[in-house]
Each structure stands twice: as structure tokens, then as C-alpha cells.
Structure 1
Amino acid sequence: MKNYSNKSVVCFGEVLWDILPNGKKPGGAPMNVAYHLHKLGLKSFMISSIGNDAVGNELLDFLKSIDLPVNYIQQDPHHATSEVHAKIGENDEVTYDILFPVAWDFIQWKPEHEQLISQADAFIFGSLGSRNEASRAALLKMLDHAKFRVFDVNIREPHYSKEFITQLLGKCDMVKLNIAELEMIAGWYDPFCSTELERIDSLFSRFGFQEIIITKGGRGATYYTEAIRYDYPAYHVDVQDTVGSGDSFLAAFLAMKLSDEPLEDMLNYAVAMGAFITSKSGACPDYSKFDLERFIWKRNMAESIF
């Protein structure tokens, strides 16, 4: 991958502590994406809010330790820093207990956001980080200034509404979601859709975005525009947990896309990153870009032997 350190991405939404069976890890989908973008050499910025409390200060310390800017992390004196209890179930599926309200439910628009967002190459947002009216109002204003808007759907029961997801789908350029989210959302608008392609066509015809990425876990991923479909298989690894794997996938895909790499290389890098992160514990393990590329090289060498 080319070194495009002049590229920048802004991520909006939740920062939190994932309380996992093996301990506490920093997380939140947009923060995870920012973390991996930074690891891959892009400039990444996080807009969020934490509480004025000890665990919030710990999150700030973590962000500073990995050289992610904290200039746009607000500190809320009235609401606590978010902690999410994650449980690993059958087939390594993760369920979450997400409390409400917390500090990131009250992210505020600031005048300095306009320049940051308008100059960034991409703006990433999800449905969870805007579940509350306060953060939602801030997000909608930010979307008006973004040049390339990426909607990482990331539905968490019961923290979403059909009406607001519909609104966000109409304000993005690219959508990333998993197969279950695709089935649910397409079914809202056309309950007679019965195949993946019918669901994709339904969303393209209803909304104005140009690209859809469907993540499929152990079955890889599929990329769509209105004109093309590209399926890419998964890398198979020994799974530690799947926390944050979709976020790392998105970061790797965007890093390649903003570097103008071929589509096959974008998907290969993204699928490899997702597998690489599932082989480790937590959403933001310590690694280098070299570690990821060595992982890809070893997998390709192993496959070439057989």
C-alpha cells in the first residue's frame, strides 16, 4: 500500500471501555476505526465526548499514548464516560450491554468542526453514536460539511430507529453493514426482497449513495456499486474474539480506497485486517503496519503451496 500520510479521516461517535471477559479494553466503533487508520499511516481524528471522571481520563491517556489527537474529545461534567459490557457467545458472536445516557450521547457542534471536517478526505459515522437527540443534531450539521460520507450502520438493539437510519442513508456516499443489517433494513422498505441482490438493488434505487460493502464474517465480504458486484473470501484464522473486526475491516478498506488502490487490493487488505484483528484480543490490539503485511504475506505463501 502506498504511504498516503497526507490523507485525513474524521470519525464521529462513541468512545468507551469494552468490559471483556479478560479485562477492560478501549473501544467504540468510530474510535476503533480511527485507531486502525492511524496504525495504517493516515491522519485520523475523533469527535466524541467523555465524562469528567477517572475512566474518561484513562481513555484520554490511551488516545494520547497512541498519538491520536484529543482536541475534539469533549468532556461532559454531567454525564459519565461510557462502559460497555461485552459477552462472547456461540460462534464467537459478541453481545453488548450499552448503558444510556452517557457522555457521547451529548456531543456538541463546535465552530472548529467545520474546517476539520471540510478538509478531511472522509467522514465516518454510525447509528449508535447518534441515538440521542443532542449528538444527532451535531452529526447532521457535520454531515453538511463532509466531502465523502461513510455510514457504518452498526445497529445495536434497542439503540436505533427506522426513521433516523432512513435519514442517514439519504446523507451518505458509502454504506458498510453486515448481512443481518442488510436483511433487516431492506425489509423495511421492500418486504418482498428475498435475495441479497434484490435487497441491494432496493437500497440503491431508494437512496443516493454510490457504494455498499457487506461484511459476512467467515464468508468474507461483498462490494457493490449499481454497476458491479465483487465477492471476496475470508482469511481463516484461529479466533480470539470478533470485537472490532468490522471496524478494522472498514479502516483498511478506506486506507486503500483513499490511496487509489485497485478494488481487489482494497478488499484483500480489508478482509486480511479483519482476520488479523480477530486473531487477537480486543478491538485495538497493539500492532504495526508491518505486522499486518507480514500476516498477509504468510497467508499468501501458505496458500501458494497448496
Structure 2
Amino acid sequence: MTNYNIVSLGEILWDILPAQELPGGAPLNVAYHLHKQSQRVVLVSRIGNDNHGQRLLDIMQQRGLATDLIQRDNRYDTGKVYARMDEQLDMQYDIVYPVAWDHISWDDALEEMLRNDDLQYLVYGSLLARNAISRNTLEKALQSRATKVLDINLRAPYYTKETLEWLLFSCDLLKLNIGELELISSWYGSYATPEDRIQALSERFNIATIVVTLGSKGCMGYIQGQFYYHEGQPVKVADTIGSGDAFLAGFLTAQIRGYTPDYSLAYANALGALIASKPGGCPDYHPQEITDMIQKKAYISTGQ
């Protein structure tokens, strides 16, 4: 078995848009972008024994993604999400339940993978906890020594305060958007600024690194007690599917490469914007486009 350095655990599915069907699911999107940045990532999920599942498998293999730990389900169909973009350019989702990825099982292959000494990050999201079987697998996976990366994806009605608190206590690195930050922090008090909200979560759940996407306004990060900020990249938005997932993949890649916290956020910010400028969560692109965007942004900002 390959010595992977990142495990992306959770849902893979089809995003059903008004005009087309696109492969998706946050763990798949994150894995795709990590792979594009030359990371040794493996995706852990479950698909149905159906046409949609086989097509997903084919696409993953065509794109070079490891499919060693993709399970097959004879009872439940491959996941689907009906997606549309609202007037604010935010995506709205209708997530089918139950489906195959709700039943990701714990097995020897997954256990062996998580014991791998080369493993640096375990990436997972809140949707994985909506069903008991996948939640049980996540609970066992969280015993890994890898850095735990929680990518909050609040999709009503598939979360509760109790479940989210368990997930927050489990993580070392938290990624969320500004709306999710405002909602979760409001459970614990009233705060004047996003910085106050972030610090409250960091202290309450002992999370050293929190990164927040701000849509067209860019991003901010709280890393080892210090705040960092980056303005939005000027792009024409095709759709925002997977842009947050790309952001996370960019941030992890930058951290693995030893970039500074500030540049790590710049890299993540640029990758998220690049993906928003293209249709779907897993479009083709060259990594050089990311650094080109960063350099162009710096050029514009300094007026040189």
C-alpha cells in the first residue's frame, strides 16, 4: 500500500446542476486539489454498485486519484446533491439521504492506512456524522496520530450542536466560512468582531489553527495566536462549487511545503478564487496559475 501523507475521509457524490452533472463532495474536491499539488492523498468513501458510482470511479482513476479505499455498496445508491446558485452567488444544496457514503465501514485496510507513519493529515467534515455507520468509522479514524483537519459543512438538517461540539473538540485545524463562524460562535455569546468569534472558538475547543473563508472578500486565519488577512482575488465567478475545498487543499499544501502562515493563506486564497472562476469543483488547471494570481495580486496592491 502506498505511503500516503493525507487521508480525505467522507462523501463522494454527483452535484446535479440545472444544466449538468458534476463529480463532487468536499472530500473528493479536497483530494483532487491536493493531488494537483503533488500530494500523496488517498480518498476514503463509498459508492453504490450503479452507473453513477462506476462513473465516479472512472473519473477518479482518469485524474490519477487513488481509489484503494473506495468501498462498494450493494444496497445504497451513489450519493447525489441537487445544487443551484442563488442571487448572492452562494450555492444551495438538497442532499439525498441515505446513500452509500453514509455507510463507510471500518475495515483492516483503513486501519492500516491510518497507522502509516508518513500520514500527516486526516481531513474530514461534519456531514460524515449524519449517519451512525460512517460516524462510527470517523470516531475510530480520529484515534490516528495525524493532524485532524475539520472542514465544517453545515447543511441543514444534517447537524446538531452536540455533534458539532464533538467534532470541534476532535480537531487540530478548523476550516469554515464566515456564516458558519457566526452561527457556531453565537451559541456561546455575543461578539463584536470576527476576531472575537475566532478566539472564542479557539479557546473553548483548544484549536490552534482556524482559517475562515470570506467569499469575495478573501480570507482570514488565526494561526498560533496571530491573525492574518488576505483580500479577495478579482475573478469572474463561474460558480462557487468546491472553492472552499480548494482553499483548504491549498492551505494544507502550503503548510506541508513549509510556507509561512501568511503565504499559506495567500496560496489558499488564490486557489479558491481560481476554482470559483471555473465551472464545477474539480476543473482542470495548472498549479502555476495559483502563483501567477498571487504575483498579479501583489503587483496590483503595490501599484508597481
TM-score scaled to structure 1, two decimals? 0.93
Contact 2:104 2:137 (C-alpha < 8 Å) held by counterparts: yes
Aligned residue type for 1:126: G
* Cα gap change, 1:201 to 1:304, in 2 (>3 Å): closer
Contact 1:125 1:151 (C-alpha < 8 Å) held by counterparts: yes
Select which of 270, 273, 276 maps to 2:274. 276
Alignment deviations for residues 78-125 of structure 1 (CA, whole Å, 9 cap, x no partner): 100011110111121110010100000000011222232233110000
In the TM superposition, residue 303 of structure 1 has moved relative to its aligned partner by 4.9
Aligned residue type for 2:148: R
In the TM superposition, residue 294 of structure 1 has moved relative to its aligned partner by 3.5
- Residue 184 of structure 1 corresponds to which residue in structure 2? 183
* Cα gap change, 1:43 to 1:286, in 2 (>3 Å): same
Contact 1:248 1:270 (C-alpha < 8 Å) held by counterparts: yes
Select which of 13, 20, 31 maps to 1:23. 20
* Cα gap change, 1:186 to 1:117, in 2 (>3 Å): same
- Residue 243 of structure 2 corresponds to which residue in structure 1? 245
Aligned residue type for 1:56: G
Work out the CA distance in 2 between the residues paired with 1:216 and 1:105.
29
**Structure 1 residue matching 2:170: 3-state secondary structure:** coil
In the TM superposition, residue 299 of structure 1 has moved relative to its aligned partner by 4.3
Alignment deviations for residues 40-96 of structure 1 (CA, whole Å, 9 cap, x no partner): 110111110000101100000000001111110100101000111101111211100
In the TM superposition, residue 141 of structure 1 has moved relative to its aligned partner by 0.1
Task: State yes or no: 1:163 paired with 2:162.
Answer: yes
Aligned residue type for 2:156: E
Task: State yes or no: 1:35 paired with 2:38.
Answer: no
Contact 2:223 2:261 (C-alpha < 8 Å) held by counterparts: no
- Residue 227 of structure 2 corresponds to which residue in structure 1? 229
Contact 1:45 1:69 (C-alpha < 8 Å) held by counterparts: yes
Work out the CA distance in 2 between the residues paired with 1:181 and 1:84.
20
Aligned residue type for 1:66: R
Aligned residue type for 1:80: D
TM-score scaled to structure 2, two decimals? 0.94
- Residue 127 of structure 2 corresponds to which residue in structure 1? 128
Contact 2:175 2:211 (C-alpha < 8 Å) held by counterparts: yes
Bigger mean CA offset, 227-236 vs 51-60: 227-236
Question: Which 5+ residue runs of structure 1 have no aligned equivalent?
Answer: 1-5
Question: Which 5+ residue runs of structure 2 have no aligned equivalent?
Answer: none
Work out the CA distance in 2 between the residues paired with 1:277 and 1:204.
29
**Structure 1 residue matching 2:182: 3-state secondary structure:** helix
In the TM superposition, residue 199 of structure 1 has moved relative to its aligned partner by 1.7
Work out the CA distance in 2 between the residues paired with 1:175 and 1:193.
19
Aligned residue type for 1:145: S
**Structure 1 residue matching 2:35: 3-state secondary structure:** helix
Select which of 186, 193, 196 maps to 2:194. 196
- Residue 138 of structure 1 corresponds to which residue in structure 2? 137
**Structure 2 residue matching 1:170: 3-state secondary structure:** helix
- Residue 3 of structure 1 corresponds to which residue in structure 2? none
- Residue 73 of structure 2 corresponds to which residue in structure 1? 76
- Residue 59 of structure 1 corresponds to which residue in structure 2? 56
Work out the CA distance in 2 between the residues paired with 1:226 and 1:33.
24
In the TM superposition, residue 226 of structure 1 has moved relative to its aligned partner by 5.5
Work out the CA distance in 1 between the residues paired with 2:206 and 2:284.
38
Task: State yes or no: 1:110 paired with 2:107.
Answer: yes
- Residue 146 of structure 2 corresponds to which residue in structure 1? 147
In the TM superposition, residue 233 of structure 1 has moved relative to its aligned partner by 1.1
Contact 1:50 1:80 (C-alpha < 8 Å) held by counterparts: yes
> Alignment length, in residue pairs?
300
In the TM superposition, residue 304 of structure 1 has moved relative to its aligned partner by 5.2
In the TM superposition, residue 218 of structure 1 has moved relative to its aligned partner by 1.1
Aligned residue type for 1:43: R
Bigger mean CA offset, 261-270 vs 242-251: 261-270
Bigger mean CA offset, 286-295 vs 44-53: 286-295
Task: Give the root-mean-square deviation of aligned CA atoms.
Answer: 1.6
Bigger mean CA offset, 35-44 vs 293-302: 293-302
Contact 1:14 1:30 (C-alpha < 8 Å) held by counterparts: yes
Contact 1:244 1:282 (C-alpha < 8 Å) held by counterparts: yes
- Residue 283 of structure 2 corresponds to which residue in structure 1? 285
Select which of 207, 210, 214 maps to 1:209. 207
Question: What percent identity do the matched residue pairs reach?
Answer: 41
In the TM superposition, residue 290 of structure 1 has moved relative to its aligned partner by 2.7
Work out the CA distance in 2 between the residues paired with 1:260 and 1:273.
17
Contact 1:94 1:243 (C-alpha < 8 Å) held by counterparts: yes
Work out the CA distance in 2 between the residues paired with 1:216 and 1:232.
10
Aligned residue type for 1:223: G
In the TM superposition, residue 198 of structure 1 has moved relative to its aligned partner by 2.4
